[in-house]
Amino acid sequence: MNTPVRFYFDFSSPYSYIASAWIDALAARHGRTVDRQAILLGVTFQAAELKSPVAYPIKRDYSVRDFARSARFHGLPCRLPEPFPIPTQNAARIFWWLKDTRGEAAAAEWARAGLAAVFQRGLPLNDAATLKAVAAGAGLDADAAEAVWNDPVWKDRLKRANEEAIAAGVFGAPFFIVDGEPFWGNDRQPQIERWLSSGPF
Amino acid sequence: MNTPVRFYFDFSSPYSYIASAWIDALAARHGRTVDRQAILLGVTFQAAELKSPVAYPIKRDYSVRDFARSARFHGLPCRLPEPFPIPTQNAARIFWWLKDTRGEAAAAEWARAGLAAVFQRGLPLNDAATLKAVAAGAGLDADAAEAVWNDPVWKDRLKRANEEAIAAGVFGAPFFIVDGEPFWGNDRQPQIERWLSSGPF
């Protein structure tokens, strides 16, 4: 049974940024591929009647500290854009355009480039000029990328991805589904590893 | 610098039950002791304007599954009392009575006994007769324990513990403070281990 590991992420989620750095190697070690799904956390939060951890002042202080520490724990640089979080629907629409027209590898490359832009360079991916520059830096045609995020086709595609995620029980990011089993959070890495190496537990 | 590891827990928190099973050995491996603090999660949630994960239907479904899976991951049995969660102020008052009058070891033993009663046997620790039986089973005088949880002195002691926890930034459980650094959640075990073995990162 070699179904892909489904990996839901949001371009504005620091823990998704961290998970994006280990999920491919982890899956590959166990003969799996990764099926990335760009979603909007805000939409899944709303469906589950939740709010972002950074919407609560006390939890926000801890979370910002924990983002940075967790990144260091995984050997990654971490910087938060200012303001944070930012709306990332345009970056997500580019993701779906690439996934549906060029395949998983191109979409994964864009996911990594977008997450690195936000969390290594602190760039506001919600700003059109910034996003175009990041797209160009990732080897994409910046004008084509801008046309994509304004295109109802790709707006609908992202909407459908959000709806499918909600239907699958996703209420946060990163969120993983492995052989039908849901795992929420970057910190479920050891459990996912055990599942992939020795099966259900 | 051998300050104790401060470990905040609630008798009704499954992840506190799991953490209670590893924190002492982990601390001991690095020459540390554990300073347990029984608190009421509901009070810290309220102070931080949060709610329990099981207060949200979609998150509840996942959480109940994750509690059990996380316990198995750590090699522990796990059963939830019905209903869940339950109010645990009486068990927490017994904890503070033991901690203040007999010391950390007696309090830790009670913490383990109470958590095991809830999460291994599914017992409703909020029920007076059940709590007295659990106290007796843990070698305590059941009538003395009942007198403690009705005594304003120990009610105030727990209240103070909650206030001190909130002042220290605690908004969930398990919550750890190591050398002033806050760690929230059973899944911060690897980060706590790294901190204890090689210092701040």
Prediction ipTM score? 0.93
Mean pLDDT check: name the lowest of A49-58, A59-68, A128-137, B24-33: A49-58
Residue B104 to residue B89: CA distance in whole angstroms: 19
Shortest distance between the Cα of B160 and any Cα of chain A, in A, equals 19
Nearest to B58 among A48, A57, A201 (CB): A48
Q: Taking residues A139-160, what's their average pLDDT? A: 98
Q: Taking residues A83-91, what's their average pLDDT? A: 94
Shortest distance between the Cα of A149 and any Cα of chain B, in A, equals 30
pLDDT digits (tens, 9 = 90+) for B61-108: 999 999 999 999 999 999 999 899 999 999 999 999 999 999 999 999
pLDDT classification of A54: cutoffs 50, 70, 90: confident
Shortest distance between the Cα of A171 and any Cα of chain B, in A, equals 7
pLDDT digits (tens, 9 = 90+) for B175-198: 999 999 999 999 999 999 999 999
pLDDT at A124 over 70: yes
Mean pLDDT of chain A: 95
pLDDT classification of B164: cutoffs 50, 70, 90: very high
pLDDT at B1 over 70: no
pLDDT at A70 over 70: yes
Mean pLDDT check: name the lowest of A108-112, A194-198, B78-82, B95-99: B78-82
pLDDT digits (tens, 9 = 90+) for B7-52: 999 999 999 999 999 999 999 999 999 999 999 998 888 887 788 8
pLDDT digits (tens, 9 = 90+) for B111-159: 999 999 999 999 999 999 999 999 999 999 999 999 999 999 999 999 9
Is A69 an 8 Å CB contact of chain B? yes
pLDDT classification of B169: cutoffs 50, 70, 90: very high
Residue B11 to residue B148: CA distance in whole angstroms: 17
pLDDT at A200 over 90: yes
Structure-token match 């709610």, residue found: B51
Is residue A6 situated within a structural domain? no
pLDDT digits (tens, 9 = 90+) for A154-175: 999 999 999 999 999 999 999 9
The pLDDT, as a whole number, for residue B47 is 82
The pLDDT, as a whole number, for residue A58 is 83
Is residue A7 situated within a structural domain? no
Is there a contact between A188 and B187 if contact means CB atoms under 8 Å apart? yes
3-state secondary structure of A98: helix
Mean pLDDT check: name the lowest of A105-119, A176-190, B36-50, B82-96: B36-50
Neighbouring-strand partners of residue B182: B177
pLDDT at A1 over 80: no
C-beta of residue B61 within 8 angstroms of C-beta of residue B31: no
Q: Taking residues A177-184, what's their average pLDDT? A: 97
Task: Fill in the amino acid letter for A39.
Answer: I
Total domains in chain A come to 1
C-beta of residue B12 within 8 angstroms of C-beta of residue B118: yes
Shortest distance between the Cα of B139 and any Cα of chain A, in A, equals 35
Q: What is the CATH number of the domain that holds B121?
A: 3.40.30.10
**In what order do the strands lie in the sheet containing B34-38?**
B34-38, B5-9, B175-178, B181-184
Is A184 an 8 Å CB contact of chain B? yes
Is there a contact between B58 and A190 if contact means CB atoms under 8 Å apart? no
Is residue A27 situated within a structural domain? yes
Q: Which residues of A92-102 are buried (b: 16+ CB within 10 A; e: fewer)?
A: bbbbbbbbeee
Is residue A29 situated within a structural domain? yes
Q: Which of B33, B178, B175 is nearest to B103 (CA)?
A: B33
Residue B142 to residue B136: CA distance in whole angstroms: 5
pTM assigned to the model: 0.94
pLDDT classification of B55: cutoffs 50, 70, 90: confident
Q: What percent of chain A has pLDDT over 90?
A: 88
Residue in chain A lying closest to B65 (CA): A182
Strand pairing class (A5-9; A34-38) = parallel
Q: Torsions phi, psi of B174, nearest 5? A: -70, 150
Range of the domain at A123: 14-198
Q: Which of B200, B176, B171, B197 is nearest to B188 (CA)?
A: B176
Instruction: List CB contacts (< 8 A) between B73 and chain A.
Output: 190-191, 194, 201
The pLDDT, as a whole number, for residue A40 is 95
